[in-house]
A and B are shown apart, each in its own frame.
Chain A
Amino acid sequence: MFAEKLQKRGEAQWTIEPFGKMRVPVTVFADEGLIREMDEQVYQQAANVAALPGIVTASYAMPDAHWGYGFPIGGVGAFDPDEGGIISAGGVGFDISCGVRALRTGLTLDHIKGNEKELADILARRIPAGVGSSGKLRVSSLEMDEMLQGGALWAVEQGYGHRSDLLRIEEYGRMLGAEPRYVSDHAKGRQEKEVGTLGSGNHYLEVQRVTAVYNDELARAFGVGLNDITIMIHCGSRGLGHQIATDYLARMIKVAKEQGIELADRDLACAPIKSDVGRQYYGAMCAGINCALANRQVLTHLTREAFAELFPRANLTLIYDVSHNTCKVEEHTIDGQRKKLYVHRKGATRAFGPGHPSLPQDLQASGQPVLIGGTMGTASFILAGTAEGMDLAFGSCCHGAGRAMSRSQATKRWHGKDIVMHLAQKGIIIKGASPRGIAEEAPGAYKDVTTVVDATEIAGLARKVARLEPLICVKG
C-alpha cells in the first residue's frame, strides 16, 4: 500500500507525500533495484516516524534500510523541541552508539604476506569476542560513572591509546550531556566485565586491504592508499546500552500514553524532549555513547598490542570513528532559520560535509570520513560527507549492507564450516566461536553493500573514497 505511493524525485530519491496521520513526507534514498527489493515494512515504519510529534522536514530511509524496532534500521528523523518534539529510545535502538572505527596500520600487503594466519591467531587470542567473553578491565561503580562521563577520553587517561586518537572520533571522543545518574544499576552491572569486548552477532574486527581508491585527493586527506592494510572495528555499548534501551522503552511507553502520543507500535515509545523522562533518556543515552566510545578505544589498544607482537614497525592511527545508533543535538537550517534539532540516526551514519564546525581543522576541506562496514566476505567502504548531504538528510547516510534475510533462513541455507572454507579459498581467514553464529552472518544474508554505497553516492549523501576488502575477520 505504501510502495505504490512512492514518487520518484531523482535518480536515487523517492518520496511518499503525507497522508493519514503523517505530519511530513517520507523520503527514501535508493536506486530502482534497491526499491524493488525494499521491504514494504520500511515504508510503513518510516511513515510511522513521520507521524510523531515535532518531526521536521521529512522521515528518511537510507539505501540499506530494513525492518527495525519502531524506527526502521537506516532511519533518520529530526525533532524540534520547541514544536513539541519527541526523543525516542526506539529511534536510537538497543545498541546505543553501535559504530565503526577504522585504523591505518602503516603497513601494506607486502608487509603482512605470509603472516596472516599468525596475526589472526594473535588477534583472536587478544580480542575478547562472543558470548561468555569478558574484558580484562574490571570497572568499579565509581570508575563506571567516570567512564560514562569521559568516553574515549577516559580510556586514554587510563592508558588505552593516545590523546591524538581523540581528534578522529566524533565529539572528540567524549559526548557532552552524559548523566550517569540516569543509567540504572542494572545497566551498569551488565557493563562491569564487558568494557573492551567486541560482543556478538554482526560485530567484528577486521584486518582489511585497500583494493580501490575512487578519489585520490580525499584518500590522501584521510591517509589511505592502494594496498594499505587497515583495520575496522564494529561494535557498540554492549550490555549497558542494551539495558538503557530496555529501561527507557518501558518508561516511555507509559509516558507516551499519559501524554496522549499515539504510537503505531510500542517500540516507537517516546517522550517529549522537554519532559523528565525525555531529558533523563537523553542523559543516559549520551552516557551510553561514551560507553561505546570507551569500548572501541580499549579495543584499539588491544589491537595495537596484537600488531606490536608481530609487526614492531606497525603504527596504528585512527582514520575515524563513527557511531550509527544515536540521537544528537545539532544545528540545521530549516526554512532559512537555524534550529537546534534532536537528530535520531538509527542504522544511519552522520556524514557532515566540508566546512562543518564540528570537524577538526585538517578535515575541514574534505568533509567527515564516513565508514561503511560490509559483511565478512564482501567489502567495506570509506566515504566522505558532502555539502549537498547537509540539506538532503541532515548530513546522514547509510551504515552498512543491511540484512536481506532472516537468521533462521541463513542457517537453513548455509553451514558455518562451509562458509569458513569458502572464504578461506578467497584468502579470508575467519575467527569465530560458533559455526551457527557464522552461518547467521553469512555474506549472502545481506544486501549487496556495493549497490548500497553506489546509491548513497548517486543520491548525493556522501561520496566514495576507498574500498576495503577483508583479509582476517574476528567475529563476535
Chain B
Amino acid sequence: MTEAHWELYSHPSDIGVRGVGPTREEAFAQAALALTSVITELGKVQAEEAVDIECKEDDEELLFLCWLSALLYEMDTRGMLFSRFEVEAVAGGIKARAWGEPVDVARHEPAVEVKAATYADLKVARGGDGVWLAQCIVDV
C-alpha cells in the first residue's frame, strides 16, 4: 500500500501541489504540506500554534479548493506558515486543525507567496488501489 506522501509538480508558469493518502482527508492534509513547501522548506516551520478550519462543499474537488483557499486566507491574515495538519470528515465537508508559527523571514526564507488555488488540473479521486489523490495548480 502506498504510504501517505506529498509532492510538487511542474507546470508551465506556476506549480502543482499533490497529496496522496489512504483516505481523502489524509490526501488533503498531505496536499497542505505540499502547499507550505511551495513557500518554504517544511522542516523550518515549527508546529507551535493551532488554527481551526472548517469547509463545507458537496463537490469533493470544490471542497479541496475550499480547504487550500482557507489555508491561504489563514496564512495571509495571521502572517503564519503551517507544517502539521489533521483533517477529519464531517457531514457536508471537513473539519481541520493546522499547526504552525508566525513567518520569520530570516529563518524561513520564503520564496514566494501563493495567490490562489485554482481549477487547473484540479482532481480529487480514489484510485483502483484505494489510494486517494488530491491535486491542483496554485497561482504564485
Residue B110 interfacial (CB < 8 Å): yes
Number of A-B contacts (CB under 8 A): 117
Q: Max chain B CB contacts within 10 Å: which of A73, A192, A201? A: A201
Residue B133 interfacial (CB < 8 Å): no
Residue B42 interfacial (CB < 8 Å): no
Report if A242-B10 is in contact (Cβ < 8 Å); known contacts: A131-B105, A407-B15, A408-B15: no
Residue A340 interfacial (CB < 8 Å): no
Q: Cβ of B12 and Cβ of A39 under 8 Å apart?
A: yes
What distance in Å separates the Cβ of A47 from its nearest Cβ neighbour in chain B? Answer: 17
Report if A132-B120 is in contact (Cβ < 8 Å); known contacts: A250-B62, A408-B10: no
B68 nearest in chain A by CB position: A246
Residue B23 interfacial (CB < 8 Å): no
Residue A434 interfacial (CB < 8 Å): yes
Report if A266-B111 is in contact (Cβ < 8 Å); known contacts: A41-B12, A190-B73, A406-B15: no
B61 nearest in chain A by CB position: A266
Residue B109 interfacial (CB < 8 Å): yes
Residue A414 interfacial (CB < 8 Å): no
Contact residues in A for B139 (Cβ distance below 8 Å): 69, 94, 242
Residue A85 interfacial (CB < 8 Å): no
The interface on chain B, measured as residues whose beta carbon lies within 8 A of the other chain's beta carbons, has a size of 38
Q: Cβ of A201 and Cβ of B69 under 8 Å apart?
A: no
Report if A407-B140 is in contact (Cβ < 8 Å); known contacts: A131-B39, A131-B103, A201-B113: yes
Within 8 A of A (CB), among B122-140: 122, 137, 139-140
A187 nearest in chain B by CB position: B73
Contact residues in B for A451 (Cβ distance below 8 Å): none
Contact with A along B78-116 (1 / 0, CB 8 A): 010000000000000000000000111100111111011
Contact residues in B for A193 (Cβ distance below 8 Å): 77, 79
Contact residues in B for A324 (Cβ distance below 8 Å): none
What distance in Å separates the Cβ of B56 from its nearest Cβ neighbour in chain A? Answer: 12
Cα distance A68–B103 when bound, in Å? 29
What distance in Å separates the Cβ of B78 from its nearest Cβ neighbour in chain A? Answer: 10
Cα distance A440–B113 when bound, in Å? 12
Residue A225 interfacial (CB < 8 Å): no
Q: Cβ of B77 and Cβ of A190 under 8 Å apart?
A: yes
B80 nearest in chain A by CB position: A132
Residue A443 interfacial (CB < 8 Å): no
Cα distance A341–B2 when bound, in Å? 53
Residue B31 interfacial (CB < 8 Å): no
Q: Cβ of A265 and Cβ of B105 under 8 Å apart?
A: no
Q: Cβ of A440 and Cβ of B111 under 8 Å apart?
A: yes
Residue A409 interfacial (CB < 8 Å): yes
- Of B13, B108, B113, B120, which is within 8 A of A200 by CB? B113
Contact with B along A46-89 (1 / 0, CB 8 A): 00000000000000000000111100010000000000000000
Q: Cβ of A67 and Cβ of B65 under 8 Å apart?
A: no
Q: Cβ of B12 and Cβ of A403 under 8 Å apart?
A: yes
Q: Max chain B CB contacts within 10 Å: which of A132, A189, A199, A434? A: A132
Report if A437-B111 is in contact (Cβ < 8 Å); known contacts: A189-B77, A243-B73, A403-B12: yes
Cα distance A132–B140 when bound, in Å? 15
Contact with B along A150-171 (1 / 0, CB 8 A): 0000000000000000000000
Cα distance A325–B76 when bound, in Å? 22
What distance in Å separates the Cβ of A135 from its nearest Cβ neighbour in chain B? Answer: 12
Q: Max chain A CB contacts within 10 Å: which of B11, B109, B137? A: B109
Residue B4 interfacial (CB < 8 Å): no
Cα distance A437–B104 when bound, in Å? 16
Residue B14 interfacial (CB < 8 Å): yes
Contact with B along A23-53 (1 / 0, CB 8 A): 0000000000000000101000000000000
Q: Max chain A CB contacts within 10 Å: which of B9, B40, B73, B103? A: B73
Contact with B along A182-201 (1 / 0, CB 8 A): 00001001101110000111
Q: Cβ of B118 and Cβ of A436 under 8 Å apart?
A: no
Q: Max chain B CB contacts within 10 Å: which of A193, A245, A269, A434? A: A434
Residue B47 interfacial (CB < 8 Å): no
Residue A267 interfacial (CB < 8 Å): yes
Residue A249 interfacial (CB < 8 Å): yes
Contact residues in A for B116 (Cβ distance below 8 Å): 94, 242, 245-246
Q: Cβ of B111 and Cβ of A434 under 8 Å apart?
A: yes
Q: Cβ of A433 and Cβ of B140 under 8 Å apart?
A: no
Residue A239 interfacial (CB < 8 Å): yes
Within 8 A of A (CB), among B30-72: 39-40, 62, 65, 69, 72
Report if A265-B120 is in contact (Cβ < 8 Å); known contacts: A201-B113, A436-B111: yes
Q: Cβ of B120 and Cβ of A267 under 8 Å apart?
A: yes
Q: Cβ of A249 and Cβ of B119 under 8 Å apart?
A: yes
Contact residues in A for B10 (Cβ distance below 8 Å): 406, 408-409
Cα distance A239–B20 when bound, in Å? 29
- Of B15, B112, B120, which is within 8 A of A131 by CB? B112
Cα distance A130–B103 when bound, in Å? 11
Q: Cβ of B77 and Cβ of A66 under 8 Å apart?
A: no
Interface residues of B (CB under 8 A from A): 8-15, 39-40, 62, 65, 69, 72-73, 76-77, 79, 102-105, 108-113, 115-120, 122, 137, 139-140
Leading 7 A-B pairs by shortest Cβ distance: A132-B103, A131-B110, A266-B119, A436-B111, A437-B111, A200-B113, A434-B109
Q: Show 27 A/B contacts (Cβ-Cβ < 8 Å), sorted by A.
A: A41-B12, A69-B118, A69-B119, A69-B139, A73-B13, A94-B115, A94-B139, A131-B110, A199-B113, A201-B112, A201-B113, A242-B72, A242-B139, A243-B73, A245-B116, A246-B69, A246-B117, A249-B119, A403-B13, A406-B12, A407-B13, A407-B14, A407-B15, A407-B112, A408-B9, A433-B110, A440-B111
